[in-house]
Amino acid sequence: MEPERVIERWVGDLQVLQREQDGFVSITNWCLAIGKLQEQWLASRSVRAAQALVAKRVGCQPWQLVDRRLSTQGAVAWLHPQLMVQLALGMSPEWALCAGRWLWEWEQAGNDSLSVPERHARIEPCPLAYEQFSLFNELTLHFVAPLRRFGFPWPARLMPGADDDEAFERWLKLRGAAGQGFARYSHRGEDGQGFTASLYPVALYPLLREYFHCEWVGRRAQRYFAGQPQVPLHLLRLPEAHG
């Protein structure tokens, strides 16, 4: 896989990188310029207000305007080009001028700054029976979607698949809860591929909570995000009661 092409921008002696494909801008040096930690700045009231304003203009959710990528330096945040300009206005006239010029130059190359990349599409649940739950819906809605909402990508190769249903049923069997003739349905994954999956009675939901926190949060996510203390794994939770 080829590395993403970036454009080198400058504000005085500070270099700012802009992704050529979608126009998102790294804020690493932005934070250096204002003397704040990345996550502290992104959580500030002024940034969140700017996100809400730009999201309304673009027609998306605020979380879609910040794309975090893991690197050897930790989680690096990239801003949507429209959010970049909005935030630069509150920094200094020099930053505002530079950001406006970067946006104009990027748009002159035929790019649309009022769009959101497809990879940021929101995950939606599929309708299921009230008395049953799907392993894949729960993992997607309460594990993958929150991570993406916070801006941390979960790789496609690690998305829940048919093998995970089998692993969960083996795990249930060790606890005496398998072999109940679970209902089946056709599940369609994020990649559009369909496969047959199980529907579990809601009475087994407490066991899913144990499996979720021990296996997905406690093992898989901890391994994948090892050394990245900014990833909010402590916020990943299943509901106390289902339905």
Quick one: DSSP state of residue 191?
T
d(CA 39, CA 72): 17
Half-sphere CA count of 228, side-chain side, radius 13 A = 22
- Domain layout of the chain by residue ranges: 6-119, 123-235
Residue 1 is predicted with a pLDDT of 45
Strands (E), the chain: 6-11, 14-19, 25-26, 66-71, 74-79, 132-134, 183-188, 194-201
Q: What is the pLDDT of residue 122?
A: 43
Contacts of 149 (CB under 8 A, 6+ apart): 61, 63
Identify the burial level of 59 via C-beta atoms within 10 angstroms of its C-beta, where 0-12 means exposed, 13-18 middle and 19 or more buried.
exposed
Question: Residues near 120 by Cβ (< 8 Å), separated by ≥ 6?
Answer: 60, 64, 67, 148
Residue 72: the pLDDT is 58
141 C-beta neighbours (distance < 10 Å), count: 16
Task: Find, among 102, 157, 165, the residue nearest to 138 by Cα.
Answer: 165
Question: What is the per-residue pLDDT for 125?
Answer: 46
Report the distance separating Cα 114 and Cα 123, nearest Å: 21
Q: Which residues of the chain have pLDDT under 70?
A: 1-2, 70-75, 117-130, 178-180, 189-193, 227-229, 235, 240-243
Residue type, 122: R
pTM, two decimals, is 0.55
> Helices 93-108 and 81-88 meet at what angle, rounded to 10?
160
Quote the pLDDT of residue 18: 93
Strands across the sheet with 14-19, in order? 6-11, 14-19, 25-26, 74-79, 66-71
Please tell me the distance from the alpha carbon of residue 195 to that of residue 242, in angstroms, as a whole number. 24
Cα-based torsion angle of the residue sequence 209, 210, 212, 217 in order, rounded to the nearest 10 degrees: 120
